Amino acid sequence: MAINTTSMLPAALPTSPGPISGDLEVRIRKRFQNPEGSFILNVHFRALPGFTILFGASGAGKTTVLDCIAGLTDPDEGRIAVGGEVLYDSEKKRNLAAWKRRIGYVHQDLALFPHLTAGENVAYGLHALSAAERRQRSREMLHSFAIEHLRDRRPAQISGGERQRVALARALVTEPRALLLDEPLAALDRPTRSSLISDLRQWNQEHRVPILYVTHNGEEVIALGDKVIVMDGGRILAHGQPHEVMRVPRMETVAQLLGFENIFNSTVVALHEDRGTMTCQLGIGKMELETPLVRADVGSRLRVGVRAGDLLLATEHPRGLSARNILPGTIRQLEQRDVIVSATVDCGGTEFEVHLTLAARDTLQLGPGKSVWVVVKTHSCHLMRM
């Protein structure tokens, strides 16, 4: 594989800051199912106290990772440890039951107990304490999450945002050794979400536990601004600060490139990190494209996908255009499909499919054999590993 992901793994495993660390260490291998079929989940990372974001499209295996850490499902092999205590180790045949792990887990559906009031839900995890202590602790927690007024109401009687607060408070009051959040705030509007996040950060100032925060929303990753692990198809693609990982466009998966009319094999010939772009040479010809920068080395082979509808045709060489790729070519054929005209343009041995309107075809008097320029915007180029 030409893409430099494996060599990034050491960066994903920072050395622990001290002997009494609450780090969450995860090494999992597990076959898992998603709607697209069966995958091998194979991840290895260490989460330090504080936020770590698990980012990836749905079906990437994020929830399976959390389920393994919480003990709700078993990996096929691997090792999971938190704060030095081993929760799971396939070699040593150790597998601590979920209810003994002391891992807080807030699921997207929240799973509040419908027959208990908000106060009872929050106090639920404190069953080992005396009744008085339980009341005291849950009252403090309700207070710090500003939901005291909901104490005697059932989940069905409170709003969505309030329910999220109750679910978070319920998990936090037990003082877990690590906290797993599976898109618990996905359904919230932005202000509500950021106020909850700041509550969570404040709580973690005192407790200093690893918080794994799962999301498929790139904006949320930027907004949270913490360390991020990018997952796809059961593997970790990248690991680092959001501005390092998210600034560069993500590699596309096969499924995402389905439906692209133009897919070319290419070779990376130059990286322009200062401009956030790189130059790729298409096929065997001399045709070069400027594409967004992804994590790839010069000489690595990538697949470039461009939608036919994202391409422009010009009958004269365009000037003063922001688009970076202007490729001379010749129309090979025109085909009318309903109200779309599909033009096949040969650019030095590489054929592009370009979609036009009927009016554009008629105004430009396009026809087979006509010389044209194909205009490709840098950010219309989508890149995929080969």
Residue 166 beta carbon to another protein: minimum distance, rounded to whole angstroms:
12
Q: Are 300 and 258 in contact (CB under 8 A)?
A: no
Instruction: List own/partner pairs for 28-32 with CB under 8 A and 24 or more apart.
Output: 28/65, 28/68, 28/75, 28/78, 28/80, 29/75, 29/76, 29/77, 29/78, 30/64, 30/68, 30/73, 30/74, 30/75, 30/76, 30/77, 30/78, 31/76, 32/61, 32/64, 32/234
Structure tokens at 256: 């995402």
Select 88 or 264, whichever has its Cβ closest to another protein: 88
- Residues 6 or more apart whose CB falls under 8 angstroms from that of 112 comprise 118, 121, 155, 163, 166, 167, 170
Residue 82 beta carbon to another protein: minimum distance, rounded to whole angstroms:
13
359 φ, ψ (degrees, to nearest 5): -65, -40
Residue 66 beta carbon to another protein: minimum distance, rounded to whole angstroms:
10
Alpha-helix residue ranges (DSSP H) falling in the chain: 9-12, 62-70, 118-123, 131-144, 160-172, 190-207, 218-224, 242-245, 254-257, 358-363
Select 153 or 301, whichever has its Cβ closest to another protein: 153
Select 171 or 212, whichever has its Cβ closest to another protein: 171
- Give the binding site for another protein (CB under 8 A): 70-72, 97-105, 107, 109, 111-115, 124-125, 127-128, 154, 156, 170-171, 174
Residue 291 beta carbon to another protein: minimum distance, rounded to whole angstroms:
43
Residue 174 beta carbon to another protein: minimum distance, rounded to whole angstroms:
6
Structure tokens at 348: 């030095």
Q: Are strands 178-182 and 210-215 parallel, antiparallel or unpaired?
A: parallel
Residue 92 beta carbon to another protein: minimum distance, rounded to whole angstroms:
22
Select 103 or 246, whichever has its Cβ closest to another protein: 103
Residue 120 beta carbon to another protein: minimum distance, rounded to whole angstroms:
10
Select 66 or 238, whichever has its Cβ closest to another protein: 66
Report how far residue 211's alpha carbon sits from residue 206's, in angstroms, rounded to the nearest whole number.
Answer: 13
Select 59 or 125, whichever has its Cβ closest to another protein: 125
Q: Are 184 and 110 in contact (CB under 8 A)?
A: yes
Select 69 or 221, whichever has its Cβ closest to another protein: 69
DSSP-based three-state secondary structure for 163: helix
Residue 186 beta carbon to another protein: minimum distance, rounded to whole angstroms:
16
Select 120 or 244, whichever has its Cβ closest to another protein: 120
